[in-house]
Amino acid sequence: MFDTSRRQFIRVGALSVGVSVSGWLAPLANSLAADPKRKRSCILLWMNGGPSTIDLWDLKPGHANGGPYKEIATSVPGLKIGEHLPTLAKFGDKLAILRGMSTKEGDHGRATFLMRTGQLPQGPIDYPTFGSLVSKEIGDPKAELPNFVSIAPRRFFDVNPNTPGFLGPQHAPLVVGASNDFQEPVSDDIGSRLKVENIARPESVSTAHADARLSLLRDMHDDFATTRPTSIVNSHVSAYDRATRLMQSSAGKAFDLGEEKKEVRERYGKSLFGQGCLLARRLVEKGVPFVEVTLSGWDTHGNNFDLVKKQCEHLDKGWGSLMTDLKERGLLDSTLVVWMGEFGRTPRINGSKGRDHFPNAWSTVLAGGGIKGGQAIGKTSADGTTVEDRPTTTIDLLATVCGALGIEHEKQNMSNVGRPIRIVDKAAKPITEVIA
């Protein structure tokens, strides 16, 4: 891992002999990214509320459904996106835009569950969210940091979509910055909301005393769990184990954004999403395999165009800065970035100048590690209402993500009802043309 101390050593050495940083940084980053021993990571950028993808990734200029926005060119000739994403347009060669998404659920909660699990919330099976599946497949059970971190999730649309399900509590996410905010919160010190609470040892307790107390607690846990081996007890023990590992290591400092320079924090933006993207970069640097960051405020039934423009300010700053940093640090080729919400928005503009729920034809985006960028897959009709070429279902998308991460999507795990369940349903058809 290309850690801070190593970067500092190389930088000082280069400066001492008068070598330009720009002359060696790109080759070094490329060399590090190509290392076959690098562990892959995934960052899910979750657009809570259902983003208007027709105004972002698949514009319809000149049509009544198109709205007022213009297209802009990306770094790839012929690939165009919405005008309010100028930073992301510079990374056109890293983006694979899936314009043929066609899913089957227009309810916020059920669609959220579907997009995160590949299943609808029904029956007795306790399906795990995708981050938990990634945690199990490529996570390190002995890591100091959790293998799944959820940054700033919003609760008001969820039908419990972010649980480890039958995989167990060891694959549950560490949640930081959760809120019920409908719109994206913004403030000068917003990053302080992303710290892990209560992991510092009180100054009045010495290290020896803390270790002795934890040892006693562990013995009590083990004794209790031996005689009462229930899921509730196992969950309790697992939670304490994860917490103590984090408390006893220096890894928890990854959540302290105050370690970053002010100009870096400002570049990501003062929104919770922007600072969440910065935290995601720090966690991936430390080897966390799955991080999700939520940007809320996409439920634009009214005043869609003003609201989407405002959302794009947060999105372009946060995601654009994330892409920039991942590339400069040699992490982009080993980090898959997934952009999606629960569905898209109607091509038809309603009487409130808004767009309503629309799962029939919309877009998601893949970028970075394991992806062949610089292309759009799928095509919608001139009015945006139907998919005309390369329709993509939820399970197709999840199987594609698995392929980019090196996970066999048809692998099975034993469920809570004693039945083996595939990571992604066998009917899935991965989009092989975007997998590197």
Other Cβ atoms within 10 Å of 151 Cβ, number? 29
Q: Which residues contact 241 (CB under 8 A, 6 or more apart)?
A: none
- Tell me which of 13-27, 76-90, 358-372 is least confident: 13-27
pLDDT for residue 5 is more than 60: no
What pLDDT shows up at residue 18? Answer: 33
Eight-class DSSP state of 128:
P
Backbone angles phi, psi at 290, to 5 degrees: -140, 125
Mean pLDDT of all residues belonging to the chain: 86
Computed on alpha carbons and rounded to an integer, the radius of gyration of the chain in Å comes to 22
Tens digit of each residue's pLDDT (9 = 90 or more) over 236-275:
556 556 666 665 567 788 999 999 999 999 999 999 999 9
Tens digit of each residue's pLDDT (9 = 90 or more) over 133-184:
999 999 998 898 999 999 999 866 655 668 999 999 899 999 999 877 777 8
User: Which tops the pLDDT comparison, 86 or 189?
Assistant: 86
Strand partners, 345: 357
What pLDDT shows up at residue 402? Answer: 98
Distance CA 81, CA 345 (A): 16
Eight-class DSSP state of 168:
-
Nearest to 85 by CA among 58, 112, 115: 58
Report all structural domains of the chain as residue ranges with CATH numbers, in order of start: 39-195+256-434 (3.40.720.10), 201-254 (no CATH)
